[in-house]
Chains A and B, each alone.
Chain A
Amino acid sequence: MRPFPFLIAALILFSVGCVQHHYSPNFIQTPYLDKKGDIMLTAAVSGSPVSLNGDFHASYSPLKYGTVMLNYFRTSTSFEDANVFGGTTYSQTTKGYLVEGALGGYLPVSFGTGALYVGWGQGQMRNDFGIGRIADLRLQRFFVQPTFTFKNDWFRLGMGLRVVRLNFPTGSIDYRIEPGDIEKIQRLEKESPFWFPEMGGNIGVHFKPVTISASLVIVGAQPASEYGFDASNIGLGISLELNELFKKQDRKPVNEER
């Protein structure tokens, strides 16, 4: 098992490339909640051929079979690239974020837990093409996400399908951006909103109350590159299942009494 996280980390490192993008998927969160009061927090780093990302996630079950979920996602890329001005090298960057909330319901079954989440959020993707040529797009995302999770004392497995409606309601674009990139943006403007599926999952090793996991998400909008979308994302995360922590603290007094 040991080499596995290092392999993922290496993949992230080598997969970070040099292309601006207008959408990057966060992980498909698959909270391991199966009873009222369960709480889970996750932080993850991920990468794709075009981005380096940070994923933050919180989920809580305030009532039996009911869940609320909050996701915060940051994506960024920075690279040097030759542009049209005589091959001069300019720094180019991509920065974006997405904040979203979801409500869901779960149903534990004998071999795991099935869940369904419905969420909405918004964010921004800001691509700087060098020398101040900026494309600043606002995005809104609605999603419906069925998931299935399996867990035991030392292992976690989650899989999900996220059906996404991605909309770019407004944007501010410097027309000096090179024509090929402008075309992508105009295509986004013309064809937005997009409906597409994203598939993904995570697999992890659990050391109570922490889980170290590797995750993967694949965007099903094809061909994603025509829109400047990230096609996939892989990464490493760490999750804390707070309910397990609280359980330990709760038990302590019981043991002391004995």
Chain B
Amino acid sequence: MKKLATVFTLFAFFLLMGACKSDFNYYYYSKEETELLGQYLNLPELPDDYTVTFPSHLSNVGLFPRAVERDKAVLGRVIFYDKKLSKDGTVSCASCHKQELAFSDDKAFSDGVYDRSTARNSFALGSVANFSAYYGTDLNGSSAIRFFWDNRAETAADQSRGSMTNALEMDMTMHEIASTVESQPYYAPLFKKAFGSEVVTEELVLEAVANFVNAMGSFNSKFDAEANRSPVSFSGNFGNSVYNDGFNGFTPAENRGKNLYNANCSSCHSGNMGRPVLQLANNGLEANPTDEGVGSITGVAAEKGAFKVPTLRNIALTGPYMHDGRFASLEEVIDFYSTGIQNHPFLHADLKSNGQPKLMNFTAENKSDLIAFLNTLTDDALLADQRFSDPFKR
């Protein structure tokens, strides 16, 4: 019996020895890579997780983001903020897409290289739930949403190429971009992690940026929190699923604003802030538009003066508004839709009444309520998200 007790005491001792919790060491960069990157960049020791998971109110209506490849997004983040990738070394993607402004710019026309100005207002990357959910036909059969105010790009990679090579923006050729990336020492380890090799090609640069942009997601606003708790009252058209019932967490003004929005705006901009219902529309900014927008790309007469319809996430932060930044404030935008829509042969039907531009005639209280509602679309988490911030040591 004594022997048996000794045996069990011995093994209890072993058991005790192994009772400590696990302590694993995770590493991503080698020591040399850490030292090299540390000279230029503030990157976390382990890469950030760029997985995008939509809130239930979006996934419940069939909207899903595509998978983001983490290591490519890490590389894309550096490219996105790298001013060396412009002709005079003064402009990066982030110059016109500022995180604190939901990746938009507060100027009507952004500053490009050599003090040039861009031709249109910077599109807010934070105005969408997630760009990757725009690609291709979605589960509801809606077709892909395109990029740029004139819808000339099909993917985030195409869009990035367009900005990098635009003479008014970064003014580089893609060959120059690839060469510059190759010449910067901090890209070698990042490329190796992302693509398994240090070889830089134009396509890989764009793929990395696209992964970073596709990782951006704005779905943590007050609106989202309330929408997650609320049933969709009407779901006839996927893009125009709206919440007719009041949100418990909204103020009376915000709920009144939501009702006004549903009645007057959601048929174009979407009721659930998922994908815009319309790809493009002529919203009657001018009777004779100088900028023909989508029509200038497609040559289709009916599309002249039509522009991309955005979703309105973070709209309170992304002024000035419209493709040319003509309206400085939300009040001005609402005033325009209230009484200022101009007639145009191809003015969108939703903005017409008896063949004439619709007069929404918002009262002062209506305007105030609408703005209260639009403010619920602000996503503070996106603005402060370290994963999307400038990684460079300036």
Residues of chain A having any CB pair with chain B under 8 Å: 84-86, 88, 103, 105, 118-120, 131, 137, 140, 142, 165, 167-176, 179, 182, 185-186, 188-190, 192-193
- Cβ of B364 < 8 Å from any Cβ of A? no
> Assuming the A-B contacts A118-B7, A118-B11, are A176 and B24 also in contact, with contact meaning beta carbons closer than 8 angstroms in the complex?
no
CB distance from A98 to the nearest CB of B (A): 14
* Proximity bits, B11-50, A CB within 8 Å = 1, else 0: 1001100111111111110000000000000000011010
Residue in chain B with minimal CB distance to A120: B14
**Chain A residues whose CB sits within 8 angstroms of the CB of B193 once the complex forms:** 176
Q: Is the CB of A175 within 8 A of B28?
A: yes
* Main DSSP-derived SS at the A contact region: mixed
Determine which of B21, B26, B49 lies in contact with A179 in the assembled complex, contact meaning CB atoms within 8 Å: B49
C-alpha gap A103/B24 in the complex (Å): 31
- Cβ of B195 < 8 Å from any Cβ of A? yes
C-alpha gap A176/B47 in the complex (Å): 9
Q: Is the CB of A167 within 8 A of B22?
A: yes
C-alpha gap A103/B10 in the complex (Å): 10
Q: Is the CB of B27 within 8 A of A172?
A: yes
Q: Is the CB of A88 within 8 A of B25?
A: no
5 more A-B contacts (CB under 8 A) besides A142-B11, A169-B18, A170-B25? A88-B196, A131-B196, A167-B18, A175-B27, A189-B23
> Assuming the A-B contacts A118-B7, A171-B25, A173-B25, are A142 and B196 also in contact, with contact meaning beta carbons closer than 8 angstroms in the complex?
no
Interface size class of B (residues with CB under 8 A): 20 to 34
Determine which of A168, A174, A190 lies in contact with B27 in the assembled complex, contact meaning CB atoms within 8 Å: A174
CB distance from A228 to the nearest CB of B (A): 13
**Chain B residues whose CB sits within 8 angstroms of the CB of A189 once the complex forms:** 22-24
Q: Is the CB of A179 within 8 A of B51?
A: yes
- Cβ of B70 < 8 Å from any Cβ of A? yes
Number of A-B contacts (CB under 8 A): 77
C-alpha gap A172/B20 in the complex (Å): 17
> Assuming the A-B contacts A142-B14, A179-B51, are A169 and B23 also in contact, with contact meaning beta carbons closer than 8 angstroms in the complex?
yes
Residue in chain B with minimal CB distance to A84: B69
Determine which of A105, A165, A171 lies in contact with B22 in the assembled complex, contact meaning CB atoms within 8 Å: A171
Residue in chain B with minimal CB distance to A144: B11
**Chain B residues whose CB sits within 8 angstroms of the CB of A86 once the complex forms:** 195-196
**Chain A residues whose CB sits within 8 angstroms of the CB of B69 once the complex forms:** 84
> Assuming the A-B contacts A118-B7, A172-B27, A174-B27, are A179 and B70 also in contact, with contact meaning beta carbons closer than 8 angstroms in the complex?
yes
7 contacting pairs across A/B (C-beta < 8 A) = A84-B69, A86-B195, A105-B4, A170-B23, A172-B24, A173-B24, A176-B28
C-alpha gap A88/B197 in the complex (Å): 12
**Chain A residues whose CB sits within 8 angstroms of the CB of B27 once the complex forms:** 172-175
C-alpha gap A169/B14 in the complex (Å): 13
Determine which of B14, B46, B196, B197 lies in contact with A175 in the assembled complex, contact meaning CB atoms within 8 Å: B46
CB distance from A88 to the nearest CB of B (A): 7
**Chain A residues whose CB sits within 8 angstroms of the CB of B11 once the complex forms:** 118-120, 142
Q: Is the CB of A193 within 8 A of B18?
A: yes
**Chain B residues whose CB sits within 8 angstroms of the CB of A174 once the complex forms:** 26-28
C-alpha gap A137/B197 in the complex (Å): 27
CB distance from B204 to the nearest CB of A (A): 9
CB distance from B169 to the nearest CB of A (A): 29
C-alpha gap A120/B8 in the complex (Å): 12
Determine which of A84, A88, A118, A171 lies in contact with B8 in the assembled complex, contact meaning CB atoms within 8 Å: A118
CB distance from B309 to the nearest CB of A (A): 35
Residue in chain B with minimal CB distance to A119: B11
CB distance from B194 to the nearest CB of A (A): 9
CB distance from B50 to the nearest CB of A (A): 10
Of B7, B14, B18, B22, the most chain A CB neighbours within 10 A belong to: B22
Top 8 A-B pairs, shortest CB-CB distance: A85-B196, A171-B24, A175-B28, A120-B14, A140-B18, A189-B22, A192-B22, A167-B18
**Chain B residues whose CB sits within 8 angstroms of the CB of A188 once the complex forms:** 22
Of B7, B49, B51, the most chain A CB neighbours within 10 A belong to: B7
> Assuming the A-B contacts A85-B196, A88-B196, A179-B51, are A103 and B20 also in contact, with contact meaning beta carbons closer than 8 angstroms in the complex?
no
Residue in chain B with minimal CB distance to A179: B70
- Cβ of B379 < 8 Å from any Cβ of A? no
Determine which of B14, B24, B46 lies in contact with A170 in the assembled complex, contact meaning CB atoms within 8 Å: B24
**Chain A residues whose CB sits within 8 angstroms of the CB of B22 once the complex forms:** 167-171, 188-190, 192
Of B20, B46, B193, the most chain A CB neighbours within 10 A belong to: B20
**Chain A residues whose CB sits within 8 angstroms of the CB of B224 once the complex forms:** none
**Chain B residues whose CB sits within 8 angstroms of the CB of A193 once the complex forms:** 18-19
C-alpha gap A197/B340 in the complex (Å): 75
Residue in chain A with minimal CB distance to B15: A142
**Chain A residues whose CB sits within 8 angstroms of the CB of B20 once the complex forms:** 169
**Chain B residues whose CB sits within 8 angstroms of the CB of A173 once the complex forms:** 24-27
